Chain A
Amino acid sequence: MSPLHLCLLISTGLFCIGLAGALARSNTILVLLGIELMLNAANINFIAFWRFGPSPVAGNGMIFVLFAIAVAAAEAAVGLALIIAVYRHQKNIRLQDSTTLKG
């Protein structure tokens, strides 16, 4: 088994932990963090393919990851702001209770 296989298996593990967390937890913050874990797993794949690819172009995988990290940061900020807005409205951040889109 090559290092590339190992890296991909590790990122699979991280992705599935994030998926399980995002599906199982009822706290909105933990669901968002599960999604962040899945994004991190995707970034690990980019770096793994850049490092162990057959003919890596200098810096290509790293550029991908840098942009992905920037977009993930924006997503986390907006997500947490939405959570705080929902909390102010409902005094509660359980997903089961956020069933209406009423203003």
Chain B
Amino acid sequence: MIPALFLIALLMLGSAAAAMLLRNLIHSALLLIVSWAGVAAFYLWAGAEFVAFAQILVYVGAISMVVLFAVLLTRQNQIIDTVIEPASRARAATAFTVAACVAAVFSAAILSTKFHPAAPEAPTASVKEIGLTLMNEHGGALLIVGLILTVALLGATILAATDRDEDQSQPSDAALPPKETP
């Protein structure tokens, strides 16, 4: 049981770290999909099958596609990206320091905590039980989540929709250098 956990952790953390280190965006996105699949494998390992399949459907299936589309739509020529500025190097060093400090604090806190022993038998939740719990106790929350998803996706569509008139009439300030009036 524990060796499987180590394998899953290696897959999950390795691909996530590689995704954050690589400079090719497409490779990063694909590695992150592997990492999300690793998280789904962890859920399967822990006995939460329903959540694992939800993770696969939502992350590996849906969000990955949205991310890949965003990467392809915002692609630019790679020549600019090959030069690493000193400022971004400094920022990366700071980020790694901060992340290492946070990791050290969390690990120390976890290792020094004594948890209650786990329940003798593993908890099980069948799909029927989950459905009943969702619909009975958490029915209001389910409705609110549906509302949030509807509003968020409508808002996302409106935000990303092209506005042709505006694009033609007033070109963006950042794309064109400001014109000097003679």
Chain A contact residues, CB within 8 Å of chain B: 1-10, 12-27, 29-30, 33-34, 36-37, 40, 43-44, 47-48, 50-56, 58-59, 61-63, 65-67, 69-78, 80-85, 87-93, 96-97, 102
With A33-B67, A73-B62 already in contact, 14 other A-B pairs whose C-beta atoms are closer than 8 Å? A2-B115, A4-B115, A6-B5, A9-B107, A12-B106, A19-B102, A29-B67, A59-B133, A65-B48, A69-B58, A72-B58, A80-B66, A83-B70, A92-B174
Contact A13:B25 (CB < 8 A) given known A80-B67, A85-B159: no
Are A44's CB and B130's CB within 8 A? no
Q: Assuming A23-B95, A43-B39, is B67 touching A73 (CB within 8 A)?
A: no
Nearest B residue to A74 via CB reads: B152
Known A-B contacts A54-B118, A63-B130; the reply to A80 vs B9 at CB < 8 A is no
> In the complex, which residue of chain B has the Cβ closest to the Cβ of A33?
B32
Q: Residue on A with the closest CB to B12?
A: A14
- 9 closest residue pairs by CB, A with B: A23-B95, A21-B20, A24-B95, A74-B152, A20-B99, A81-B156, A54-B116, A59-B125, A56-B123
| Residue pair A84, B160 in contact (C-beta under 8 Å) | yes
Interface residues of chain B, those whose CB is within 8 Å of chain A, are 1-2, 5, 9, 12-13, 16-17, 19-20, 25, 28-29, 32, 35-36, 39, 42-43, 46-48, 50-51, 54-55, 58-59, 62-63, 66-67, 69-71, 73-74, 76, 87-88, 91-92, 94-96, 98-100, 102-103, 106-107, 110-111, 115-119, 122-125, 129-130, 133-134, 138, 141, 145, 148-149, 152-153, 155-157, 159-160, 162, 167, 172-175
